[in-house]
Amino acid sequence: MAPAHRTAAFLWAALSLLVYLGLAMAQDPQMSISYFDNLPGRLFFFEDTPTAVYHDTVDGDVYITQDEGKTWERASGIPSGEALMVFAHPFDTRYAFVLTASTTHYRTEDRGKTWRSFSVPSVPAFTPYPLSFHSDPAKWGYILYQGTECSVSGWGRTCTDVTYYTTDGFSSDAKELLTDTTRCQFAHSSKDFKHDAHPDLIYCVGFDSSSTGASHSISSSRLYSSTDFFRTSSLETLGMGRGAKGVVALAIVSKFAVVALKDLSPGADGTMMLYVTVDTKEWAKAQFPHASQARLRENAYTIVESTVHSLAVDVLSQDQGAIGTLFVSNSNGTYFVESLSDTNRNGAGYVDYENVYGIEGVGIANTVSNPLDVERKGQPKKLRSMITLNDGSSWAPLRAPSRDVDGNDVSCNPNDEESCSLHLYSVTNPHNFGRVFSSPAPGFVIGVGSIGRQLAPYEDCDTFMSTDAGLTWHMIQRNAHIYEFGDSGSITLLVDDEGPTDTVLYTLDFGKSWKSYDLGMSIRARGLTSVSDATSQKFMLLVQVARQEQKPGQGRYAIIHLDFAGLRQRKCGDGDFEQWYARAKPETECLLGVKQWYRRRKADADCYVGNKFIDPVVHDEPCPCEDHDYECDYNYVRSGDQCIPSGLEHIPSNMCTSGRPDETYMGSSGYRLIAGDKCDKGRGLRKDEPVSKPCSQAQPAEGEVTSQVHDFPADVAQYEFFKESSTILVRLTDHTIWQSSNEGLTWEQRFPDERFLVFYMNTHTNDRAYLITDTSKYYYTTDGGRFWHEANAPSRPNTFRANVLSFQPRSDYLIWVGDVGCDGTGERCRAEAQYTRDHGRHWQFIDDYVVNCAWARDEELKIDMTQILCESYLHKEGSQRMFGRNNPLQLISGWDYYGKKTKLFDHVVGFTKFSEFLIVAEYVPQRNALDLQVSLDGRTFAEGQFPPGMHPNTHAYTVLESSTDAIFLHMTMSEHPHPYWGNILKSNSNGTYFGLSIENVNRDQYGFVDFEKFSGLDGIALANVVANPAEATLTGLKTLQTRITHNDGGTWKPLTPPPADSLGQPYSCSTTKCALHIHGYTERTDARATYSSPAVVGVVMAVGNVGETLAPYTESDTFLSRDGGFTWQEVHKDAHLWEFGDSGAVILLVNDEEPTDHVLFTTDEGLTWREYQFSKDKLRIKAIVTVQEDTSRKFMLIGYRPQSSASSVIVHIDFTSLTHRQCELKEDNPGHDDFELWSPSEERQEVCLFGRQTLYHRRKRDANCVVGKIPKIEEKIVRNCACTEEDFECEFNHFKNDEGKCVLIPGMTPLESDSSCRGDDEYWYERTAYRKVRYSSCEGGYRPDQGTSHRCPGLRGHSTFFWLTILLFPIAVTGVVVWWWYKKSGLARGTIRLPSSTSDHQPFGSLGSGSGNALDTLASVPWFLLGLAGIAYAYVSSSIENVVGGFRSRRGYRDVPVDEDAQILRFEDEEE
């Protein structure tokens, strides 16, 4: 070859080699390393920028990178060691703020290049997020700053929070907004919370003027609002009026503003309430299913990541083990349904729940499969992962891949989802920054987990990936890795997370193949991140450098910058992309009326996307409208698959004016499109189009009453409303069930093909009911009858004398008692009990040959949740139907769900739970007698002690109602076959000693007693006594008289008769022997027709007469009292049934002596009466029914037509249109509203009742307005009174003689005196013939219960000098020890301060806001150990790194488009 040719060939070869080498070099990522001394407390990017912040919380320094981590510089302008907290402006990426522990802070307006200082008068508050920003970019400078101001107070400091505001980002001095705040926030602080409120609207949680002094009561915490920076302000009543107290937290989550309040009503026991708004105008209480095991309690619920369609709240359901229940709301955040039970939580309140980013309705959660073992036995949790594709409506296990990373079959069958599904680590156990599973890269999900029945330990897990938003998965690497997405999902990085490594793994084809990159050094990965929208090809790897790799002068930690931009030279074109549809299953692909799809790079396309900082665009493809796209319209309620009217429809005044009977109007169909739903009506259902309706279905003009008559084919055998609901169930004698969801306006039959024996309402859960058939099949509802579900019990309902179902506060826990072996000859026919802990999905055997089995736990009987009580026969053979007294009925107690059994009694007649007492009737064969055994804990029992001649071994007895910490017992004293009567006995506080309250009280042959307490007024009761016991014994005819007590049975008096009857005429009986006598409980056909209602405090109605004795019912009239039975007036002649409505604003009467066609009603509590004709035919009415709370203006009359008593009629009467004016309640301006303050003492000589004067709010008698659902104001105890004779009753073994004095029963001995001293008692007193009524709170005054006094031994017996010595000596020692430790630890800096002052590196967010540091408060108590512990805490907290806490406080919740403080609403109760 010629030389020229050889030269040319050489040049071409060299050029080809250079090109090849260049291409080869382009295949390797670029790497650079920056070293740091400490791990960051925060590491984050400015949104849509290459700028990131590294906050070293140990040294207090901030580092900035402008090139995605390649180079770092310490923030210039911020003194070293001063940075306490760093916040990026969430709505303007140019700005960030560094807060220090002092009043001087720093701001950047160029993403960290330069920093300038600004000052605020107060140091930052002890809250994780002291800054709140306005979401309008034009108002970037509108910022709220929460600070803390402290003053020295005695031994400690008193701190209060003050909020400041700026409108120019602190360019000028911040101004004070409001003092004594715990949280302030702009209403416009979330892009999703869209409303038309004033642009400057601010909400603040603060304290009202009733809160004085250094500390605040939670009852004074309220929500305030202002549109002029609190130059003027308004109290947000939340629809509750002035009762909106106890506000503990405010958060804006997605499109919802949420306020958490502590329920301050008596007995609430820390229960919380959530109020929600979507427009800042209308607040509504969030309604949760009444499942007691998952009720809202303080610090026991978490508002988790929510969508724009619904609010998600996880509620702690088990105190032991941190296990919760997830609830999901409707579109306006007010009605919640249970979405997922047994969710996994941790002690900090974080929940294993996360939505897949950018894919509507898809979320992943972890549940605990062994909750009972965790709670009862302390076993480790067994976690299972679940996925939802429809926003929490249903959940399914994650489908496991069939092959592992090597292509081999996995060790189980993925078709068996119970034993072979995929489980992933989640929010509660984070190992990286940011979101746990996904990123803005559409559809890509990665997790660390295992395949099998449950999640394996982290070190035994592998790494899995899904490219279709969790529908399918494949294993991509052995072992656990941290991971991150880049370039819109075209690059995925993995780094080993189980130990030291020197390699990074990456894929460019969605995980089909993997390449490795050698870092050239051994590291331990601590975090992997990239820009927040996952569109960059550059990554930051946070590592801990191995000791052998560490060089002098270099930090132990490093950021490794990895740049993959050179791997691919070609930018993707249109042909490299595909349409990827989310939720690609036919039943889940449409959510809120649309299919979602993204434009995504194909897996095998060899190109880079390159759209840096451009978020992927979601495309909505409308679906045809279907049933699930609609919800019930206003004034309609769900009943099964239909929406029915809750009342008559309101129409414009120009409609239905002609008066023609056939006139119609265009009204609502009952449906409306769900807010935000985008379905295509043209291709689907048009359920919201108006429909033509007859004018009879329209709401009448104001002042009119309407009614509807419904005929039923059989008599009514059972009926009951769901509590706090307008839905009622009715069972007829033909074994059919009927339901009305609108208080009787319309009816529908439930399951016509079934034969129902009974239905049960869950006694602990308002919205659960059970329809029991004559087979093992039953139906249940968990949502107040909206939907019913079929289930199968372990046996048919029992035909013995036991309840079929037993309930307890945990609403999923049931006991079923059914018949077993009763078919055919029934040789071993018996009752068998089984229990379930999952609402009937699985049943477990308890015992057989039982009469009754029930949970021991009750609302007030707060004992072991797992304890079961059974009345069980000793000999378990043969047919139970043939058993007699020779087979004793034992009482067996079984703890741990009857796993650990104990025999409590050898022979019992029965047991009952009553208030806080467990009462057992024990049979003693040796004496052929009964003993009454009482327990407060279900384990230890005490035998009831009775006055002589009144022991239950010779008498029948009835346990009566009580609400005042005592048992009332009726002891029958008459003998069979004479008419029955007896004495009422009242117990002491633990139910063991009984004393006589009143003699000769009437009862009937069934054991029911003429005794009833008034609702809403404790201690007031009526009883009918037999006035002629001696004569009745001979004649068999009882003469009755009525007595009333106003001090819980201590004394009884006749009822004072009214001066004239309802016609204004005097009564014929006018001597001192005359009194008012009323008919009692034993004569009622409906036990629920009580004298009074808790909704109408003080108002009482009854049927009776004025005379010396009670007249027959048909010769009686109707009476009313407005003062708790002190005074009465006759309101109408003849006997009537009555019912209260709208908290007494409407009272209804119907004739109870003969058929009638009309009712009488009053709106002024009996001053005037009006008549309303409800039918052309006369009906015999047996009962008047309304909602249980007596707050509705709608009533139902239950009766029958006289010519056909075998059928029944229900008449719906609606008084809603009588008036539309809403009653006004002005707690801060009483006397100028529609309510009055009333006390039971107004009409009597005694001012006090139960030792206190109490005032109640109630509607004024002549106020013609609607009370509705105005929250009841808590009763006001004005003062405790001096004790009087009314506050005492006779001691055990004593009775009242004819002079009204308590004297010892002849032959009896008094109880021994109690010489024990309690609290600060200086004396103890010998026992007398009297004892104080337990419910009384009187103080001082007349004390007949105190005999001779004796000085208490112990503390009070020492001199003042002794106690001064004891007090001052430890203080002196404390001073010496603390000073030595103080100097030695280096904490002394020339000033005197308290332990853990704000100059230390105290981890923020660990303390509640509002009253300063916890140690500041505690330090005011001069205790030796406490002082030493406080200094030690200061030393430790200023010396250790708090990096782990900094990481964990953010994992799993970063980059969620909500305020970060909205995730966990926590509050430290400041109530003393």
Q: Are 850 and 873 in contact (CB under 8 A)?
A: yes
Which H or E element spans position 375?
helix 371-377
Cβ contacts of 1306 within 8 Å, gap of 6 or more: none
Say if residue 1443's pLDDT is above 70. Answer: no
- The pLDDT tens digits for 1287-1326 are 888 887 787 787 878 888 887 788 888 777 766 678 889 9
Cβ contacts of 144 within 8 Å, gap of 6 or more: 131, 132, 133, 163, 164, 165, 177, 184, 185, 186, 202
Which of 309-323, 972-986, 1180-1194 shows the lowest mean pLDDT across its residues?
A: 309-323
Distance between CA atoms of residues 367 and 317, nearest Å: 13
pLDDT at 536: 94
Q: What angle do CA 1252, 1258, 1261 make, to 5 degrees?
A: 125
- The pLDDT tens digits for 1462-1471 are 223 322 333 3
**Residue 126 — very low, low, confident or very high, per pLDDT cuts 50/70/90?**
confident
**Residue 1375 — very low, low, confident or very high, per pLDDT cuts 50/70/90?**
very low
Structure token digits, residue 1337 = 């709170």
**Residue 1371 — very low, low, confident or very high, per pLDDT cuts 50/70/90?**
very low
Which of 565-569, 966-970, 1053-1057 shows the lowest mean pLDDT across its residues?
A: 966-970
Listed ranges 353-362, 428-437, 495-504, 1436-1445; the one with the highest mean pLDDT: 495-504
Say if residue 1363's pLDDT is above 60. Answer: no
pLDDT-above-70 percentage for the chain: 85
Say if residue 269's pLDDT is above 90. Answer: no
Classify the C-alpha dihedral 73-78-84-85 as positive or negative. negative
DSSP 1118: E
Closest among 1454, 1459, 1471 to 434, alpha carbons compared? 1454
- The pLDDT tens digits for 1248-1292 are 777 888 888 888 998 999 988 776 555 565 678 899 887 888 887
**Residue 1437 — very low, low, confident or very high, per pLDDT cuts 50/70/90?**
very low
**Residue 1201 — very low, low, confident or very high, per pLDDT cuts 50/70/90?**
very high
Which of 199-208, 473-482, 600-609, 923-932 shows the lowest mean pLDDT across its residues?
A: 923-932
DSSP string, 1242-1302: TTSS---BTTEEEEEEEE-TT--SB-TTPPPPPPEEEEE--B-GGGEEEPTTEEE-TTS-E
Distance between CA atoms of residues 324 and 345, nearest Å: 7
Cβ contacts of 1444 within 8 Å, gap of 6 or more: none
Say if residue 786's pLDDT is above 80. Answer: yes
Distance between CA atoms of residues 860 and 1447, nearest Å: 43
- The pLDDT tens digits for 858-917 are 877 778 888 999 999 999 999 998 998 789 999 999 999 999 999 999 998 888 887 778
**Residue 755 — very low, low, confident or very high, per pLDDT cuts 50/70/90?**
very high
Structure token digits, residue 1229 = 């301006």
DSSP 1385: T
Say if residue 1's pLDDT is above 60. Answer: no
Q: Are 966 and 916 in contact (CB under 8 A)?
A: no
Distance between CA atoms of residues 960 and 1087, nearest Å: 13
Distance between CA atoms of residues 854 and 760, nearest Å: 15
Q: What angle do CA 197, 198, 204 make, to 5 degrees?
A: 90
Structure token digits, residue 921 = 């009737």
- The pLDDT tens digits for 177-226 are 999 888 899 999 988 888 888 999 999 998 876 555 556 777 788 899 99
- The pLDDT tens digits for 939-979 are 888 777 777 777 766 677 788 876 667 788 888 888 777 78
Say if residue 1421's pLDDT is above 80. Answer: no
Q: Are 206 and 226 in contact (CB under 8 A)?
A: no
Preceding omega of 977 cis (within 30 degrees of 0): yes
Q: Are 204 and 183 in contact (CB under 8 A)?
A: yes
pLDDT at 1401: 30
**1191: β partners:** none
Q: With both helix axes pointing from N to C terminus, report the angle between 1424-1437 and 1360-1384 in degrees, rounded to the nearest 10.
A: 20
- The pLDDT tens digits for 580-596 are 988 766 666 787 788 88
Closest among 276, 291, 286, 263 to 784, alpha carbons compared? 291
pLDDT at 1366: 47
Which H or E element spans position 1?
none
Classify the C-alpha dihedral 933-935-941-944 as positive or negative. negative
pLDDT at 230: 94
Distance between CA atoms of residues 1134 and 1151, nearest Å: 7
Say if residue 1402's pLDDT is above 90. Answer: no
pLDDT at 1466: 28
**Residue 14 — very low, low, confident or very high, per pLDDT cuts 50/70/90?**
very low
Q: Are 301 and 315 in contact (CB under 8 A)?
A: yes
Closest among 60, 96, 101, 54 to 80, alpha carbons compared? 60
Q: Which is it for strands 1204-1214 and 957-960: parallel, antiparallel or unpaired?
A: unpaired
**Residue 267 — very low, low, confident or very high, per pLDDT cuts 50/70/90?**
low
Q: Which is it for strands 716-721 and 691-694: parallel, antiparallel or unpaired?
A: unpaired
**Residue 319 — very low, low, confident or very high, per pLDDT cuts 50/70/90?**
low
Which of 121-130, 683-692, 958-967 shows the lowest mean pLDDT across its residues?
A: 958-967
Average pLDDT value for the chain:
83
Report which residue type is found at 360.
E
Say if residue 1163's pLDDT is above 80. Answer: yes
The pLDDT of 503-523, averaged and rounded, is: 94
Structure token digits, residue 546 = 């191995």
Closest among 1428, 1435, 1430 to 1416, alpha carbons compared? 1430
Which of 150-159, 639-648, 1105-1114 shows the lowest mean pLDDT across its residues?
A: 150-159
Instruction: Tell which wins on pLDDT, 762 or 1389.
Output: 762
Phi, psi of 1365 (to 5 degrees): -65, -45
Which whole-number Å values give the CA distances from 1256 to 931, 1063, 1267, in the listed order?
42, 31, 15
pLDDT at 23: 43
Distance between CA atoms of residues 291 and 768, nearest Å: 9
Instruction: Tell which wins on pLDDT, 1445 or 131.
Output: 131
Say if residue 641's pLDDT is above 60. Answer: yes
Report which residue type is found at 376.
R
DSSP string, 228-293: STTSS-EE--TTSGGG---EEEEEEETTEEEEEEE--STT-TTBEEEEEESSSS--EEPB----GG
Q: Give, rounded to a whole angstrom, the gap between the first and last alpha carbons of the chain.
A: 104
Distance between CA atoms of residues 508 and 982, nearest Å: 90
pLDDT at 192: 83
Sheet bearing 1252-1259, strands edge to edge: 1235-1238, 1252-1259, 1276-1280
Q: What angle do CA 1134, 1139, 1143 make, to 5 degrees?
A: 135
Which H or E element spans position 790?
strand 789-792
- The pLDDT tens digits for 1001-1018 are 999 888 889 999 888 787
pLDDT at 845: 96
Structure token digits, residue 825 = 């000859």
**Residue 239 — very low, low, confident or very high, per pLDDT cuts 50/70/90?**
confident
pLDDT at 211: 53
Which whole-number Å values give the CA distances from 270 to 264, 291, 1404, in the listed order?
8, 16, 25
Structure token digits, residue 206 = 């603060």
Q: Are 225 and 206 in contact (CB under 8 A)?
A: no
Report which residue type is found at 303.
I
Rg (CA), the chain: 38
Say if residue 89's pLDDT is above 90. Answer: yes
DSSP 82: -
Report which residue type is found at 1135.
A
Say if residue 261's pLDDT is above 80. Answer: yes
Say if residue 659's pLDDT is above 90. Answer: no
pLDDT at 1472: 32
Q: How many H-runs (helices) and E-runs (strands) does the chain carry?
A: 8, 99
Say if residue 1103's pLDDT is above 70. Answer: yes
Which H or E element spans position 301?
strand 301-303
Say if residue 1457's pLDDT is above 60. Answer: no
- The pLDDT tens digits for 1331-1348 are 887 778 888 899 999 999
Closest among 359, 319, 358, 326 to 342, alpha carbons compared? 326
The count of other CB atoms within 10 Å of the CB of residue 1304 is: 14
